[in-house]
């Protein structure tokens, strides 16, 4: 039975592509094997795309990811599938075939390539890379292995992919689903955002401790923090909230941002400015609390140092809410939705109270239990960095900025 590619319309009027076979019979065996045939029927076989692919392609477009179809199939089949999944808009019929690729003035312009050889797939990957793109290549056959190896991220099919393709690839899809690639992109962005939040939070907290001690030493005043107190803060108020930030599920618009420049460091200049600004803000609140306790409340030095210690500890705990995405909702951001953050804050608050009220901890840390005025001063001074930080984070994100967690991405 001869086979040929056909383009037809289904009941909904949409164009579909597939393979059709002609069924026939004959009474005797003629010299011509295809002579004296009586046509009985045409049998069409269609292989439509998965229903979820169109949504995944649309998500790629919103995320700034260019989706290109490179296939060895017939041009009509490639065009129909590309329109069905949204790679090209309805009505667009341009398909570049492999025989015409070397004459194409702009090989990065077309979205659909058909009848492409393995060598031409490799050349297309190299062309995109030469233009500065990060290329992810999908494939399942032996002939796809060179392009999979050449691409920045080779993605092989886990079910129908050959062993050669899986070994050449960087990632294997166990479900052979295109939407799994989109999920991987989303989770990769979330992980990178969480790393930035983690680093910005830890650095700003630790730099604030250095600034507080340095400022007091420069002016010749009493130390706001003692060595064991700094060690306690590093082990308690820094670690647990920072670890909790690593479990965040990400902002809801993580796939609505343009891609980040792969050459961009983890911390940009904007992030370093934030670290310095938040550290200065935390330090100022501690020093103000210390001065108010010494000269306003007339506390003796040990009680005043307790106030400064509690102010820094509490302000660092509250500072975790300052690393939410800029422009995100005050109550609907990823940090607020993270249950691990709330668990870490409760744990740290309990440990801080234990350090003040439990003699076995209060003695070595040289802490005393503050009175009501002292606690009021601690709460007021600790809320200052939070209030200023929330005002700064509520500013709208500039157009095109990929602000992940804090600072600016590209």
Which residue is listed with tokens 């002579």?
A: 35
DSSP 136-162: EEEE-SGGGHHHHHHSSEEEEESSS--
How confident is the model at residue 11, as a pLDDT?
42
Looking at the structure, do residues 171 and 208 belong to the same domain, yes or no?
A: no
Helices (H), ranges, 292-371 = 301-318, 334-337, 339-357, 359-365
Task: Report helix angle 301-318 to 269-291, nearest 10.
Answer: 150
* Span 63-83, average pLDDT: 90
Write down which residue in 132, 164, 181 finishes a domain.
181
Helices (H), ranges, 72-162 = 75-85, 98-101, 118-130, 145-150
Looking at the structure, do residues 34 and 64 belong to the same domain, yes or no?
A: no
Report if residue 96 sits inside a domain: yes
68 within 8 A of 87, measured Cβ to Cβ: yes
Q: Environment class of residue 176 by beta-carbon count within 10 Å: exposed (0-12), middle (13-18) or buried (19+)?
A: middle
Looking at the structure, do residues 132 and 261 belong to the same domain, yes or no?
A: no
Looking at the structure, do residues 31 and 86 belong to the same domain, yes or no?
A: no
Residue 12 predicted with pLDDT over 80: no
Looking at the structure, do residues 236 and 375 belong to the same domain, yes or no?
A: yes
Write down which residue in 130, 154, 181 finishes a domain.
181
Q: Structurally, how many domains does the chain consist of?
A: 3
Report if residue 401 sits inside a domain: no
Write down which residue in 123, 158, 181 finishes a domain.
181
How confident is the model at residue 396, as a pLDDT?
63
Mean pLDDT of the chain: 86
- CB-CB neighbours of 41 under 10 Å: 9
Report if residue 405 sits inside a domain: no
Residue 405 predicted with pLDDT over 90: no
Looking at the structure, do residues 67 and 94 belong to the same domain, yes or no?
A: yes
Q: Which residues, 6 or more positions from 336, have their beta carbon under 8 angstroms from its beta carbon?
A: 321, 324
pLDDT band, very low/low/confident/very high, at 237 (cuts 50, 70, 90): confident
How confident is the model over 85-103, as pLDDT tens digits?
A: 999 988 887 899 988 888 8
Report if residue 258 sits inside a domain: yes
Tokens of 196: 């930035």
Looking at the structure, do residues 302 and 217 belong to the same domain, yes or no?
A: yes
Report if residue 79 sits inside a domain: yes
Distance, CA of 179 to CA of 171 (rounded, Å): 14
Report if residue 408 sits inside a domain: no
Range of the domain at 158: 53-181
Using alpha carbons, select from 331, 255, 290, 206 the residue that is nearest to residue 65: 255
How confident is the model at residue 406, as a pLDDT?
39
Looking at the structure, do residues 246 and 168 belong to the same domain, yes or no?
A: no
Handedness of CA 32, 38, 42, 43 (dihedral sign): negative
How confident is the model over 277-299, as pLDDT tens digits?
A: 999 999 999 999 999 999 989 99
Instruction: Give 24's strand partners.
Output: 39
* Span 59-76, average pLDDT: 91
162 within 8 A of 118, measured Cβ to Cβ: no
194 within 8 A of 405, measured Cβ to Cβ: yes
Report if residue 74 sits inside a domain: yes
Distance, CA of 160 to CA of 162 (rounded, Å): 7
Looking at the structure, do residues 246 and 155 belong to the same domain, yes or no?
A: no
How confident is the model at residue 397, as a pLDDT?
57
pLDDT band, very low/low/confident/very high, at 238 (cuts 50, 70, 90): confident
Report if residue 13 sits inside a domain: yes
How confident is the model at residue 82, as a pLDDT?
92
Tokens of 87: 């790679």
134 within 8 A of 116, measured Cβ to Cβ: no
How confident is the model over 179-211, as pLDDT tens digits?
A: 999 999 999 999 999 999 999 999 999 999 999
175 within 8 A of 158, measured Cβ to Cβ: yes
Calculate ∠ Cα 320-325-329, nearest 5°.
95
Give the CATH number of the domain where residue 171 resides.
Answer: 3.40.50.1000
Looking at the structure, do residues 277 and 244 belong to the same domain, yes or no?
A: yes
Looking at the structure, do residues 171 and 200 belong to the same domain, yes or no?
A: no
Using alpha carbons, select from 348, 354, 332, 338 the residue that is nearest to residue 382: 348
Give the CATH number of the domain where residue 322 resides.
Answer: 1.20.1110.10
- Long-range CB contacts (within 8 A, 24+) of 262-267: 262/134, 264/409, 264/410, 266/195, 266/196, 266/199, 267/196, 267/199, 267/200, 267/407
Distance, CA of 228 to CA of 1 (rounded, Å): 86
Using alpha carbons, select from 300, 290, 283, 309 the residue that is nearest to residue 362: 309
Looking at the structure, do residues 313 and 227 belong to the same domain, yes or no?
A: yes
Residue 13 predicted with pLDDT over 70: no
């Amino acid at each position: 039975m001869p086979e040929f590619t056909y383009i037809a319309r289904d009941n909904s009027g949409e164009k579909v592509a597939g393979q059709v076979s002609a069924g026939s019979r004959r009474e005797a065996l003629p010299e011509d094997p295809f002579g004296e045939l009586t046509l009985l029927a045409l049998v069409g076989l269609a292989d439509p795309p998965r229903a979820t692919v169109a949504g995944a392609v649309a998500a790629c477009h919103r995320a700034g990811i260019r989706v290109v179809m490179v296939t060895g199939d017939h041009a009509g089949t490639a065009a129909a599938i590309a329109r069905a999944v949204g790679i090209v808009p309805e009505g667009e019929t341009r398909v570049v075939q492999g025989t015409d690729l070397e004459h194409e003035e702009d090989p990065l312009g077309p979205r659909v390539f058909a009848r492409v050889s393995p060598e031409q797939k490799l050349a297309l990957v190299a062309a995109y890379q030469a233009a500065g793109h990060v290329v992810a290549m999908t494939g399942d056959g032996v002939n796809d292995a060179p392009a999979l190896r050449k691409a920045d991220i080779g993605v092989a099919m886990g079910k129908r992919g050959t062993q050669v393709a899986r070994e050449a690839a960087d990632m294997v899809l166990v479900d052979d689903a295109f939407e799994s690639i989109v999920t991987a992109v989303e989770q990769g962005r979330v992980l990178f955002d969480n790393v930035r939040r983690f680093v910005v939070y830890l650095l700003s907290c630790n730099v604030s401790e250095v600034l507080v001690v340095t400022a007091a030493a420069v002016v010749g005043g009493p130390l706001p923090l003692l060595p064991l107190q700094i060690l306690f803060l590093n082990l308690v108020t820094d670690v647990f909230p920072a670890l909790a930030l690593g479990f965040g599920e990400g902002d809801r618009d993580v796939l609505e941002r343009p891609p980040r420049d792969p050459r961009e460091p983890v911390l940009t200049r904007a992030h370093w400015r934030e670290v310095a600004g938040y550290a200065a803000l935390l330090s100022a609140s501690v020093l103000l609390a210390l001065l108010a306790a010494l000269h306003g409340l007339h506390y003796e030095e040990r009680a005043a140092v307790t106030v400064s210690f509690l102010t820094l500890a509490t302000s660092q705990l509250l500072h975790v809410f300052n690393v939410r995405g800029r422009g995100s909702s005050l109550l609907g951001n990823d940090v607020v939705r993270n249950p691990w953050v709330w668990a870490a804050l409760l744990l740290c608050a309990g440990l801080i109270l234990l350090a003040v009220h439990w003699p076995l901890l209060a003695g070595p840390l040289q802490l005393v239990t503050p009175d009501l005025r002292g606690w009021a001063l601690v709460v007021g001074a600790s809320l200052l960095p939070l209030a200023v930080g929330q005002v700064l984070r509520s500013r709208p994100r500039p157009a095109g900025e990929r602000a992940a967690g804090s600072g600016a991405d590209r």
